[in-house]
Amino acid sequence: MQRRKELPPMVKTVIIKGRIQDGGEHMEQQRIVETPAGVLTYTLKKKKVKNLNLRVDQNGTISLSVPMRCTLDRADRFIQEKSLWLTQAIRRQQERQQPVPPPPDRETCKAILLAGLKRTYPVIAPLGVDFPALKLRAMTSQWGNCHWMQGYITLNTALARCPERLQDYVTLHELVHFLHHDHGPRFYGKMDLLMPDWRQRRQELKGYSAALER
Ligand SMILES: [Zn+2]
């Protein structure tokens, strides 16, 4: 039985951070690969190391250091081979409930989330999305939603109690709805392009469900 042939087709999208070429000098790149355990995003680092070193950090972010000579194909395949172990490790890290700070007063909450919107907006501005109005609401089952017809997004006040990288994820998700209203492949394609590690962040957000309760 040849295991390799059972693996799904490989790289979906590649996001370049810094200079990279196969056989190049130094590189660090975020890569998105389809694996038997689902789509995974990882940071690939080429270094003067002898072996492939795989790591999952506290956020559930995957990094793989490889020797200079290692091809991108080999690196992606390694992620595929380890995908089951990786997804289990990530789930363990991310679903651990995180301590959340007490809810800020309404004014502070608005300031935090508006700052988050301003931080995220430049990512989508070049695609022709107007800066939306922002409404806040305490919700128990949704982190946000997008009223694309009316030109505003609603964010859950609980999001102000979450780390910035998770605020950015929810905000960007709602902003992308101005371009793609449903959760079809084009929506997720845009998320992949604009925030390659959004799946990890979505998973990480589950660790903050305590913020949703009062
Ligand atoms: Zn949505």
What is the rounded distance in angstroms from the CA atom of residue 60 to the CA atom of residue 13?
20
Q: How far from 31 is each of 56, 77, 180, 195, CA to CA, in Å?
A: 15, 12, 23, 11
152 and 126 share one domain: yes
Candidates 136, 146, 135; CA nearest to 179 is: 146
Query: For the segment 143-165, what is each residue's pLDDT rounded down to a tens digit?
Result: 999 999 999 999 999 999 999 99
In this structure, is residue 2 part of a structural domain?
Answer: no
Predicted confidence pLDDT, tens digits, the chain (214 residues): 444 444 444 455 555 454 555 555 567 888 889 898 988 999 999 888 899 999 998 778 899 999 988 988 899 999 999 999 999 988 887 777 788 899 999 999 999 999 999 999 999 999 999 999 999 999 988 999 999 999 999 999 999 999 999 999 999 999 999 999 999 999 999 999 999 999 989 988 988 988 886 5
User: What is the count of structural domains for the chain?
Assistant: 2
Same-domain check for residues 90 and 121: no
Residues 86 and 127 in one domain: no
Instruction: Report the separation in Å between the CA atom of 147 and the middle of ligand 1, taken as the mean of its atom positions.
Output: 11
Share above pLDDT 90 across residues of the chain, in percent, rounded to a whole number: 60
Closest of 75, 76, 77, 79 to residue 90, by C-alpha = 79
Host domain of residue 167: 106-211
State whether 67 and 117 are in the same domain. Answer: no
What crossing angle do the helices spanning 72-81 and 83-94 adopt, rounded to 10°? 70
Ligand 1 centroid, distance to 182 Cα (angstroms): 7
Is the pTM for the entire model greater than 0.85? no
Residues 158, 197: one domain? yes
CA of 100 to the centre of ligand 1 (A): 24
Q: Are 112 and 160 in contact (CB under 8 A)?
A: yes
146 C-alpha to center of ligand 1: Å? 7
C-alpha 180 to ligand 1 mean position (Å): 9
Tell me, what CATH number does 170's domain have? Answer: 3.30.2010.10
